[in-house]
Amino acid sequence: MKFGILCASDRCSAGVCEDKSGALLQTLVAPFAAQTEYVLVPDEQAQIETALISLSDDAHADIILTTGGTGFAPRDVTPEATLAVIDRLAPGISEAIRMKSLAITPHAMLSRAVSGIRGKTLIINLPGSPKAVRESFEVIAPIFRHAVETLSGQTQCCGGDYGK
């Protein structure tokens, strides 16, 4: 599988802070990934959109995981950028992440993260903290292979054995 990892952070992109969440994601996807591309952009909707389009259309990522920009802060625009570039929503993914996170902290209700499909690429918004990234990754990792197979048209009998 090909992964794209996009960190949206003003401070990290300016070199004020190190992107620990993006680095963690690169480590977490390594067992699944044949190839990984990493992009770091400021919290600017147009730049996030451009990066998502490039990772999907040019780099042909199967899955793009974003980190950062999903909260209530005025410059948190990752969900808006994602919604602008996807063709279809995949709400169950973000709902599952929020459900797991809500068992850990009531702040999970403040997540505006979305998930969706652009062409044959699955895009999933994750929070910005390494702790929340790790917890969210545990929720979504089991669906990677099936999601990529389904998006690429490689599954014949989804959800059961229809050959009987």
Residues 6+ apart with CB under 8 A from 31: none
Question: What pLDDT is stored for residue 157 in this prediction?
Answer: 58
Question: What pLDDT is stored for residue 158 in this prediction?
Answer: 56
pLDDT (tens, 9 = 90+) of the chain, 164 residues, equals: 999 999 999 999 999 999 999 999 999 999 999 999 999 999 999 999 999 999 999 999 999 999 999 999 999 999 999 999 999 999 999 999 999 999 999 999 999 999 999 999 999 999 999 999 999 999 999 999 999 999 999 876 555 543 43
CATH class of the domain defined by 2-151: alpha beta
What ranges do the domains of the chain cover?
2-151
DSSP 120: T
Residues 6+ apart with CB under 8 A from 47: 41
